[in-house]
Amino acid sequence: MKKTSTRLADGRELIYYDLRDDTVRDAVDRRPLERTVTTSQVRRDPLLGDDVAIASHRQGRTYHPPADECPLCPTQGDRLSEIPDSSYDVVVFENRFPSLAGDSGRCEVVCFTSDHNSTFADLTEEQTRLVLEAWTDRTSELSHLPAVEQVFCFENRGAEIGVTLGHPHGQIYAYPFTTPRTALMLRSVAAHKEATGGENLFDDIVEKELAGERLVLATDHWVAFVPYAAHWPYEVHLYPRRRVPDLLGLDEDARTEFPKVYLELLRRFDRIFGEGEPPTPYIAAWHQAPFGTLDEFEGVNRDDFALHLELFTIRRTSGKLKFLAGSESGMSVFINDIAPESAAQRLREVAS
């Protein structure tokens, strides 16, 4: 992998990740852009105790442009985009309309391929490995920013999810706090550790699922299963067999095997609802241990957390979506229309 860092016309950082070490990246952003001005701030909710990002400047962000005006495609002639070069393998750049910025963190866009009409599932294993290396590198770099406590790499796919740019891409959020979902996990890990005399909750969950009916696939270095209390119609959790707190902790064997495993899961998701169905909308989310202090979670350290990826869709059946209505949105109590055991069985049936 070759990494080349440059700057866009408005001063934002852009980084090329290339498969070939001899690739030269010297294209200049020719757009007449002024420096990005953001109004992003983080406010603490005193009642719920969580944090909310206020980012009113995002109302003006690019919204469903036609394919020939896609800002994530490479620049071609006078058709200028966010990527100055005429081709790329993987690119990461600072979001022009960030939810978090400055003392409030940082937001980045990850373009998985220059091919506008493909999806992540269409990537080769070599390209997928390069995306993994980009995620890992960005996690490392962002973790050293003074304002950052947690790094979140994720992909939203599909208009049903709310995606406004059709090009295959994901995002990275670098939060200035530990996210509420991660805090809940850490509290559960702490309680389990105390109740069992030191056992790890993540390890116990993976061990149980390996022997159960919700297992989707298992390889030498990875395990994928539908969780016992799945929130979403089709939801898979992917864990490395060796517990590590973040992407940086993955060993070479796990990195080498990841592309085949992950691409298989994504392709199964596209086959859930049968032939002729549109691509399955999904969210793919990496959960990593915070880099900040864990003092509030008594008895727990970073090594107690287990890196894992959660992949889920809001489509519950052909032509029907799972909406977050009163119980989910109002009280955070999910109601799932599909039994996790049935979802796991379906995901095994559609194996390639």
**126: three-class secondary structure by DSSP:** helix
Q: How many Å separate Cα 75 from the centre of its chain?
A: 26
| Closest to 180 (Cα-Cα) out of 307, 325, 287 | 287
**Two tokens, residue 65:** 């442009």
Q: What are phi and psi of 52, to 5 degrees?
A: -125, 130
Residue 170 amino acid letter: G
Spatial separation of the C-alpha atoms in residues 268 and 280, rounded to whole Å: 10
Question: What is the biggest distance separating any 2 CA atoms in the chain, rounded to whole angstroms?
Answer: 65
Identified catalytic residue from 57, 64, 144, 169: 169
Which residue's structure tokens are 């850490």? 186
Strand partners, 141: none
Residues present in the chain in total: 352
Residue 35's contacts (CB-CB under 8 Å, 6 or more residues apart) are 10, 11
**103: three-class secondary structure by DSSP:** helix
Which residue's structure tokens are 């270095």? 221
64 is catalytic: no
**198: three-class secondary structure by DSSP:** coil
Which residue's structure tokens are 């994530």? 72
**Two tokens, residue 50:** 């969580």
User: Which residues carry out catalysis?
Assistant: 169
